Amino acid sequence: MANYIQRKQDVFLSFRGEDTRNGFTSHLFSALCNAQVETFMDDNSLERGEQISSSLQKAIEESKVSVIIFSQNYAGSRWCLGELVKILKCKKEQQQIVVPVFYEIESSNVRHQTETYKDAFKKHEERYKEDKNKIRKWREALTEAANLSGCYTISIDKVIRKIKKITIFNDSN
């Protein structure tokens, strides 16, 4: 049985700031807001640390849809990987809808952790030698998310249409 959560926003954006914050993600955020889709995008002032903050976890839980913007360096961020694990937990426990967006990266690179994702995991494995379970969860989360129906970033309009279709459908249920 799903837990009941009061939804505060329609969409949560998960992204690697250095890759997409000042480009694709900020444009997507603006377009969603202009389309009257309530959207959460972290503002860089949220507390950073080893684990994702409780305020960020709450924002994920309170969203109808999570959009994961996979980019070249997404897997290099422990923060992004922590968000991803939380998002997939909400998908499983609360039926949250998850939409992967592949920004200048192939879904197979995410799914199989090749190229930059392979390099990122070499570093994570060195750092977390004693916590192989964390690495396993991150790898499984990337594979699971990359297997979901998503979008390649041909245009922001395509992503917005998909999100609006999902949020309108969910509002009618």
**Percent of all residues in the chain with a pLDDT value above 90, rounded to a whole number:** 72
User: Looking at the predicted structure, is the pLDDT value of residue 47 above 70?
Assistant: no
CATH number at residue 160: 3.40.50.10140
Task: State phi, psi for 87 to the nearest 5 degrees.
Answer: -60, -45
Confidence of residue 137 (pLDDT cuts 50, 70, 90): very high
User: Has residue 1 been placed in a domain?
Assistant: no
| Residue 109 contacts residue 117 (beta carbons within 8 Å) | yes
Any idea which residues carry the catalytic annotation?
83
In the chain the first and final C-alpha atoms are separated, in Å, by: 17
CA distance 170 to 173: 5
- In the chain, how many domains are there? 1
- For the cut 90, the answer to whether the pLDDT of residue 48 exceeds it is no
Band (pLDDT 50/70/90 cuts) for residue 112 is very high
Quick one: which H or E segment has residue 40? strand 39-40
- If one compares 136 and 156, the residue with the highest pLDDT of the two is 136
Beta-carbon contacts of 139 under 8 Å, excluding residues fewer than 6 positions away, are 113, 121
Confidence check: pLDDT of 156 > 60? yes
Closest CA to 105 of 95, 113, 97: 113
Residue 148 phi/psi, 5-degree rounding, is: -80, 160
- Residue 90: which domain range? 9-172
Mean pLDDT estimate for the chain: 88
Distance CA 35, CA 54 (A): 28
Structure tokens belonging to residue 134: 């964390």
DSSP, residue by residue, 60-92 = HHTEEEEEEEE-TTGGG-HHHHHHHHHHHHHHH
Residue 22 domain flag: yes
Band the pLDDT of 86: cuts 50, 70, 90.
very high
Residue 33 Cα to chain centre, angstroms? 18
166 belongs to a structural domain? yes
Is residue 2 included in any domain, yes or no?
Answer: no
pLDDT at 171 over 50: yes
